[in-house]
Amino acid sequence: MSKNKNLIAIEIKDLKKHYKEVKAVDGVSLTINKGELFSILGPNGAGKTTLVRMLTTVLTPTAGDADVDGNSILTSKNEIVKIIGVCPQVITIYDALRAEENVEFVAAMHGMSRKEAKEKTKKLLEDFGIAGRKDWSKKFSGGMQRRLNLAMSLIFEPEILFLDEPTAGLDPQARRLVWDFIRDMKDKDITIILMTHDMVEADSLSDRIAIIDNGKIIAEGTPAELKEKYGSDNVLEISFIKQEDLEVVKSNIQNISFVANWNEIHRKERNTLLISFQGGLKNLTKLLQQGLTENIDEVVTMKFRQNSLEDVFLNLTGRRLRD
């Protein structure tokens, strides 16, 4: 966490955006501190992009307000756009320009000198592995375009950076490269608001997380706090072909004291029971010794793992984040 953790970068106050019967964002209130990486985690359609578009002054709220570095999104839009960088979910580049021309164009829009723009552009493109490309950016792969978009959002070193699904469509290597770059930005005290549906991304990068679903914030805290409050230490994940076998195992765990809760996930080819429990390997051994899987025909898979943010979302909503 940044040394500026007690200074407020963004204060969101009962923010709403409604489209007739659709409540895309429905009364969100959050405080984001300067220098922290704050993630808004939720499934597609939960309201993440609508929220970031209001905070970046692209959309006008139906109700509520938000202060970005003390500037109201309702009355101080010109001041806000001077201090924020945005990497949108939908790739936005000038496809008739080359990579360096795209980045230098954004730098010029923010009043940067030509010399400074060229120096910083060269460094950014080297960092993202796309320096020296002389073809038009419309010929870039989706992953390269995504990295170029991120470079464009960073060229003028914004005080606050909004990243809306910044690694969507990237291969694992490029994804890790972007994660490393985001970690470097955290060290520079840039306030970063990350919109993502990637649990690993949020868990790995975030100082704090707010989980959003159906336009509402349903939980908030550090990754560790969320997993402790809404999850359990360990999860035993068992998949079956037959629903009858799942019911047998579910019956077997009803009266086991160290089992915190369980959830069912149904797929066409298999049914899965997620058993959350305390006590680690010691209690896992007890579960198996107590005849957990006796009197069933077949177990497809059985996995023992640590609690995750996906388990938190499942326990809060009854469904997986990616469903």
pLDDT of residue 40: 97
Are residues 19 and 45 located together in one domain of the fold? yes
Note down the domain range covering 37: 8-228
User: Regarding beta strands 22-33 and 208-213, do their DSSP bridges make them parallel or antiparallel, or are they unpaired?
Assistant: unpaired
Give domain status of residue 198, yes or no. Answer: yes
Can you tell me whether residue 308 is helix, strand or coil?
A: coil
Give domain status of residue 1, yes or no. Answer: no
Provide the residue count of the chain.
323
Sign, CA dihedral 150-153-158-161, equals: negative
Q: What is the pTM of this model?
A: 0.85
5: closest CA among 152, 151, 222? Answer: 222
Q: What stretches of the chain show up as alpha helix (H) in DSSP?
A: 48-55, 77-81, 99-109, 114-127, 142-154, 172-187, 199-205, 223-230, 243-252, 280-289, 309-317
Are residues 124 and 258 located together in one domain of the fold? no
Strand partners, 38: 193, 208
Give domain status of residue 322, yes or no. Answer: no
The CATH number of the domain holding residue 76 is: 3.40.50.300
Which CA distances in Å does 248 have to 97, 244, 273? 62, 6, 11
Taking residue 153's Cβ as centre, other Cβ atoms within 10 Å add up to 21
The CATH number of the domain holding residue 259 is: 3.30.70.260
Cα 272 to Cα 147: distance, rounded to the nearest angstrom: 37
Give domain status of residue 25, yes or no. Answer: yes
Cα 166 to Cα 185: distance, rounded to the nearest angstrom: 14
Are residues 126 and 74 located together in one domain of the fold? yes
User: 276-305 burial string, b = 16+ CB within 10 Å, else e?
Assistant: bbebeeebbeebeeeebbeebeeeeeeeee
Are residues 241 and 268 located together in one domain of the fold? yes
pLDDT tens by residue, the chain, 323 residues: 444 556 999 999 999 999 988 999 999 999 999 999 999 999 988 999 999 999 999 999 999 999 999 999 999 999 999 899 888 887 888 888 999 999 999 888 888 899 999 999 999 898 888 888 888 888 888 778 888 888 888 888 889 999 998 888 788 888 888 888 888 888 888 899 999 999 999 999 999 999 999 999 999 999 999 998 887 789 999 999 889 999 999 998 988 989 988 999 888 778 999 999 988 888 889 888 877 877 787 889 999 998 899 999 988 988 887 65
209 within 8 A of 41, measured Cβ to Cβ: yes
Are residues 224 and 236 located together in one domain of the fold? no
Can you tell me whether residue 211 is helix, strand or coil?
A: strand
Q: Which of 228, 245, 260 is the last residue of a domain?
A: 228
Number of domains in the chain: 2
